Amino acid sequence: MATPSVAADLLLIHGAWHGAWCWQRVVPWLERRGFGTLVPCLPGVGERAAEPAAEVDLTAHADAVAEFVAEHRGRERRRPLVAVAHSYAGAVLLAAGERCNDLLAGRIFLDAVLLEDGERVMDLVPPEVAEQRIAAAVGTSAMAPPPPPSFGVERDEDLALLAKELTPQPLGTYLEPIRLTTAPGAGRPSRYVSCVRPPYEPVARSARRARRYGWPVLSLESGHDAMITAPEATAALLAEVTADLLFEAR
The confidence score (pLDDT) of residue 125 equals 82
The confidence score (pLDDT) of residue 77 equals 61
Q: What is the CATH number of domain 9-249?
A: 3.40.50.1820
Longest alpha-carbon distance in the chain: 53
pLDDT digits (tens, 9 = 90+) for 179-229: 999 888 888 899 999 999 899 888 989 999 999 999 999 999 999 999 999
Sign of the CA dihedral running 228, 231, 237, 238 = positive
Say how far apart CA 12 and CA 40 lie, in whole Å.
Answer: 7
Listed by start position, the domains of the chain span 9-249
Say how far apart CA 232 and CA 226 lie, in whole Å.
Answer: 9
* Banded pLDDT at 5 (limits 50, 70, 90): very low
Task: Please state the separation of Cα 55 from the chain's center in Å.
Answer: 21
The confidence score (pLDDT) of residue 75 equals 67
Residue 151 main-chain phi, psi, to 5 deg:
55, 35
Say how far apart CA 77 and CA 184 lie, in whole Å.
Answer: 29
Question: Strands, E, within the chain: which ranges?
Answer: 9-13, 36-38, 81-86, 106-110, 143-144, 169-170, 190-195, 217-220
pLDDT digits (tens, 9 = 90+) for 11-56: 999 999 999 999 999 999 999 999 999 999 999 999 999 988 778 9
* Banded pLDDT at 4 (limits 50, 70, 90): very low
Number of alpha helices (DSSP H) and beta strands (DSSP E) in the chain: 9, 8
pLDDT, the chain, mean? 90
Question: Strands, E, within 112-213: which ranges?
Answer: 143-144, 169-170, 190-195
Nearest to 115 by CA among 124, 106, 128: 124
Say how far apart CA 243 and CA 187 lie, in whole Å.
Answer: 18
Say how far apart CA 171 and CA 180 lie, in whole Å.
Answer: 20
pLDDT digits (tens, 9 = 90+) for 137-162: 765 567 888 887 778 898 999 999 99
The confidence score (pLDDT) of residue 139 equals 58
The confidence score (pLDDT) of residue 100 equals 92
